[in-house]
Amino acid sequence: MTINVSDADGRHRSPFRAFARRALALGGAGLVSVTGVVALSGSAQAAGTTLGAAAAGSGRYFGTAVAANHLGESGYATTLDTEFNAVTPENEMKWDAVEGTRNTFNFSNADSIVSHAQSKNMKVRGHTLVWHSQLPGWVSGLAATDLRTAMNNHITQVMTHYKGKIYAWDVVNEAFQDGSSGARRSSPFQDKLGDGFIEEAFKTARSVDPAAKLCYNDYNTDGVNAKSTAVYTMVKDFKARGVPIDCVGFQSHFNSNSPVPSDYQANLQRFADLGVDVQITELDIEGSGTAQATNYGNVVKACLAVTRCTGITVWGIPDKYSWRASGTPLLFDDNYGKKAAYTAVLTALGGTSGGGTTDPGTGGGGTDPGTGTKTCTATYTATQTWQGGFNGQVTVKAGSAAITAWSVKVTLGAGQTTTGVWNGTTAWDSTGKVMTVTPSYNGSLAAGASTSFGFTVQANGNTAAPTVSVCTAS
């Protein structure tokens, strides 16, 4: 498995990239069999049956990053409008997008997101006013005095344009270094204005729109570590000295190299105890199936356990539009089907499925007329490969009716043998190539819910995906 490739900022990026490519190649040969697929469309708007409604049940919002250029895609807009009650423009409010040329402001793309959100009664998180990245060259070239003027002017113009329309602003983004130093990151602002640029930005922001919550937002600050402690120390100091700050955003970009920390909730709580709101601002978790779902559920539970955790934003809607699409880190597949991670989030929020799922991506056809027929689908994913073998995982998903048992047939390729099966009980046919897998403990699934089993394959030169077929439910 490939681990941790840094991006241009020397920052986190999909550790799964190479693996995902391999998995995709294998997955192409993996077969999904269907005995009936729920294809209920339409929007379940009743309380608690969508992410937004379920979150609202505890007074929180559930948001997503939105890109203006996707709003015209019907699946995108429908999913946004049905499931979410908050948005963050993914790129459209950044400095390079709104003030690429000094004092010439272009708000058109950001405006389209804000007006869409307003028409649907969604909160808007403003992202972001002062950040070292996506910063036009003219800003980096300014000398200190001029840079201070430009920074305060940028904050003033942008916040004035959106005054009264923004729930919370990421006033300063990613100002601290990774690692153990606890130091501020080198940037034009830091290098020319010193540590004081952060509080100056917050003071300016407060003076422009006193009603907006003012947040500091960062990544790799999700658990208790040197970087989060440096931010904690700054926030504590701001609160002690009356520097205006209302909230801290925890981006929460997770993958195998940067997993959900075990002290995630404790870290949120220690910030909340300083007297600020905490928000999960850019959540995405690379992976698939049950493992991904479990991680998502745990993040949501951590937020719900912290009174001042006021909302969660995921960093995009379908996997295909994620900034790290190959890691399939989001709640909806490329066809806007709800993934197991979606169900885990909805359940953790206290919501319930609205009586069906929209998951054209895993079925390949078939419509369950909603007669209560017990059905399931089985989807194969390669989860790990190495020279000589691989691990496979099959996600079993109940259709529109709850089931108490399932059975899936897996046929190995020529030369392949298995050396272990987990979360399933196997019966082999006389050829030793076809196993029928039934639940070991995980037979009962609510409508639309998923479980998975896995197995290790000795490839013996054949790395093709095993054929997964015939999911039957009772």
Active site residues: 174, 282
Enter the tokens of residue 179: 């690692």
Q: Are 355 and 447 in contact (CB under 8 A)?
A: yes
Q: Report the chain's terminal Cα–Cα distance, integer Å.
A: 37
352 burial (CB, 10 Å; 0-12 / 13-18 / 19+) is middle
Q: How far is the CB of 90 from ligand G3I (least distance, A)?
A: 5
- In this structure, how many other beta carbons lie within 10 angstroms of the beta carbon of residue 335? 15
Secondary element (H or E) of residue 362: helix 360-363
Q: What are phi and psi of 466, to 5 degrees?
A: -60, 155
If one asks whether residue 251 binds ligand G3I (CB under 6 A), the answer comes out as yes
Residue partners of 382: CB distance under 8 A and separation at least 6 = 22, 23, 26, 27, 30, 390, 391, 392, 393, 465
- In the complex with ligand G3I, which residue's Cβ is closer, 109 or 423? 109
If one asks whether residue 282 binds ligand G3I (CB under 6 A), the answer comes out as yes
If one asks whether residue 187 binds ligand G3I (CB under 6 A), the answer comes out as no
If one asks whether residue 323 binds ligand G3I (CB under 6 A), the answer comes out as yes
Q: How far is the CB of 113 from ligand G3I (least distance, A)?
A: 13
- In the complex with ligand G3I, which residue's Cβ is closer, 91 or 426? 91
Could you give the C-alpha distances from 66 to 89, 105, 169, 322, 335, in angstroms and in order?
5, 20, 16, 10, 17
- In this structure, how many other beta carbons lie within 10 angstroms of the beta carbon of residue 364? 12
Q: How far is the CB of 133 from ligand G3I (least distance, A)?
A: 5
Quick one: which of 75, 76, 84, 90 contacts ligand G3I (CB under 6 A)?
90
- In the complex with ligand G3I, which residue's Cβ is closer, 209 or 282? 282
The Cα 108–Cα 270 span in angstroms is 39
The Cα 341–Cα 213 span in angstroms is 29
The CB-nearest residue to ligand G3I is: 323
- In the complex with ligand G3I, which residue's Cβ is closer, 107 or 323? 323
- In the complex with ligand G3I, which residue's Cβ is closer, 220 or 385? 220
DSSP three-state, residue 347: helix
Q: How far is the CB of 97 from ligand G3I (least distance, A)?
A: 9
Could you give the C-alpha distances from 222 to 1, 11, 269, 355, 433, in angstroms and in order?
24, 15, 11, 34, 45
Q: How far is the CB of 8 from ligand G3I (least distance, A)?
A: 8
Q: How far is the CB of 70 from ligand G3I (least distance, A)?
A: 10
- In the complex with ligand G3I, which residue's Cβ is closer, 213 or 397? 213
If one asks whether residue 325 binds ligand G3I (CB under 6 A), the answer comes out as no
Enter the tokens of residue 53: 């409604």
Q: How far is the CB of 409 from ligand G3I (least distance, A)?
A: 40
DSSP annotation of 43: -
Quick one: which of 2, 91, 140, 391 contacts ligand G3I (CB under 6 A)?
91
- In the complex with ligand G3I, which residue's Cβ is closer, 278 or 447? 278
In the window 113-152, what residues touch ligand G3I (CB under 6 A)?
133-134
In the window 205-234, what residues touch ligand G3I (CB under 6 A)?
219
- In the complex with ligand G3I, which residue's Cβ is closer, 133 or 326? 133
In the window 31-50, what residues touch ligand G3I (CB under 6 A)?
none
Could you give the C-alpha distances from 330 to 259, 282, 315, in angstroms and in order?
15, 11, 7
Q: For the residues of 68-121, what is the DSSP string, one character each?
A: GGGTTSHHHHHHHHHH-SEEEESSTTSHHHH-SBTTB---HHHHHHHHHHHHTT
Q: How far is the CB of 436 from ligand G3I (least distance, A)?
A: 43
Q: For the residues of 234-260, what is the DSSP string, one character each?
A: HHHHHHHHT----EEEE--EE-SSSPP
What is the binding site for ligand G3I (CB under 6 A)?
90-91, 133-134, 219, 251, 282, 323
